[in-house]
Amino acid sequence: MRRFVLAVWVALTGIAAQSVPADAAAKPAVPRVQTSEAGRAALAAGRDLVGALRGLRGPERKTALEQAAAAHDRIAEQFAAEVPVAAAAVFTAAELWRQQGSFALAEKDYLRAASLDAARFAQRGLFGAAEMQRRQQRPDEALGTYAKAEAVAPGTGRAQQVRLCRARLLLSLERVDEAVSGLQAALESAEGPSQVIEAANLLALAFVKKGDLDAAARAIEHAERAVEAAADDDDAPAHERHLKALEGMSARRALQRARDERDGAGADAVHLDAARRAADGVAPPR
């Protein structure tokens, strides 16, 4: 309900929720800049270039992506005085450079879009830039940029995505305690069974890495309870999807393997001790 009310407010005001600062009441609203006919035509031409990518494969697609990305960068330069046009063009360029595999160019354009039009692109641009930094093997920068992206609007679904991506990166760096802390926050922020399952799965995996198998089991149980609690509100297809997602949690398999290894190691130790006692002629303990 809170999100619905917020969405209505956004629609009525024309201001993106993520752009509203804490002291918004103390500041006058910034009027939205109208785009020129030429600017709108340029963006439409850019959309045609993007549409032409459909069906292309291999080197042909890669070349077309490069050409479309460069064209959007040119639109941004040509309409630099029209912030809505420039920001939209440069964000699209970032997305195209990402698909083309030019991560450095994508990062630059994501950051530029976030700076040009924070109301629309601050969180999206920073998130995209963090992903590009990660893919360029610059994890410390990526972690910092993820944090900035989350802080833009912590209550959005995109902020939840940011938390999970940041936690995955921390896990890959073996910074397990930091990942656990971030994932606990993500689980607390999760809205709806799907978000709970995703956050709980990663949290359980982190606990398995940490060696706390009981905590991993509790994280999985938390997701199960969330799905059960939502059963009355979900329609049948949604409930089936949630049950399937529960069954497919990779943390279940990781936890089972960890338990098997733990229990198997204990059994091997018992067998080894018995063999040694038998070799020494010592009776097994009663």
Give per-residue pLDDT as tens, 192-203: 999 999 999 999
DSSP, residue by residue, 186-228: HHHH--SHHHHHHHHHHHHHHHHHHT-HHHHHHHHHHHHHHHH
Q: How far apart, in Å, do the first and last CA atoms of the chain sit?
A: 64
Mean pLDDT of each 10-residue bin along the chain, 286 residues long: 33 32 39 82 97 97 98 98 97 98 98 97 98 98 98 95 97 97 95 95 97 97 94 88 95 96 68 59 54
* Cβ proximity of 54 and 71 under 8 Å: no
Q: Is the model's pTM score more than 0.85?
A: no
pLDDT, tens only, 203-236: 999 999 999 999 999 999 999 999 999 988 888 8
DSSP state at residue 81: T
pLDDT of residue 28: 41
Structure tokens at 160: 């939840």
Residue pair 104/132 in contact (Cβ under 8 Å)? The answer is yes
Ranges of each domain in the chain: 57-152, 191-286
Is the separation of the CB atoms in 274 and 231 below 8 Å?
Answer: no
pLDDT given for residue 20 in this prediction = 34
Looking at domain 57-152, its CATH class is mainly alpha
Q: How big is the CA angle at 277 (ends 271 and 283), to the nearest 5 degrees?
A: 110
Any long-range contacts for 232-237 (C-beta under 8 Å, 24+ apart)? 234/193
What is the pLDDT, as a whole number, of residue 179?
97
- Provide the token pair at 63: 């070349």
Q: How many whole angstroms separate alpha carbon 85 and alpha carbon 40?
A: 7
Greatest alpha-carbon pair distance for the chain in Å reads 96
Distance CA 226, CA 242 (A): 10
* Exposed/middle/buried for residue 133 (C-beta within 10 Å: 0-12, 13-18, 19+): buried
